[in-house]
Structure 1
Amino acid sequence: MRIFESGLQPERTLLAWRRTCLVLGLGVAVSIRFGAIADPLMALLIGVPGLALVGGAYALTSIRYHRATRALVNDPTAAVSEGRAIAAVTVVALLVGLAALVFVVAQSEVLSR
């Protein structure tokens, strides 16, 4: 009995991760754009590392997909689990949330004057 079937499941997972990374990249870009209105330096300090992490997570998902597929083809019982891409996506989501918080606080200060 084969545990691993070389169907489209790993590829669908890869595509889902890529979509997640692209949406997070778009969120970071929007955060930079609107954050620059309130505080350009803070927008860059949060946005540039965010974009770098999104790019890294995107690359890691491809690497992980190819490694996992090779491992499962060679040994159908192998389970490959690395959390670097998940950690990078989590950090980017936190950075986008922080950028949104900075934007809201800065805008409330501007409006209260």
Structure 2
Amino acid sequence: MESLEEEEDNFISLDKVIADLNGTSSYFLNVFNNKGVDLGILRLRKGETDTQLPHSVDEVYFVVEGNGSIEIEGKLKPVKSADFIFVPAYAHHRFIVGSQDLLVIYFFA
């Protein structure tokens, strides 16, 4: 995948990011990393497990589509399309797919 800084005018479409994600065997794809800011996308389908580990920085998620829940430090919260979720640094967390596959954008800073 072309990194964001190689794209004209520092722009990349969500459709292109999803196409790039479809071209991998992973459930997530890092899209951009520059000056302490990371951006990526993850997709979990029914039956898949979110295996991420705690991160050393705060993280914000935006649910693009789907539904399910997020477990943060053992507490389960429902999530759906258009929700923002804040996860503090070092917190154990994972997504759980509901009745629809989850497509989520993540930001680290």
User: When you count helix as a share of all residues, which structure comes out higher?
Assistant: 1
Length-normalised TM-score, structure 1 = 0.23
Higher radius of gyration, 1 or 2: 1
Which fold has the larger relative contact order, with Cα–Cα distance below 8 Å and residues 6 or more apart in sequence? 1
Which TM-score applies when normalising by structure 2? Answer: 0.23
Q: Could you say which structure has the higher strand fraction?
A: 2
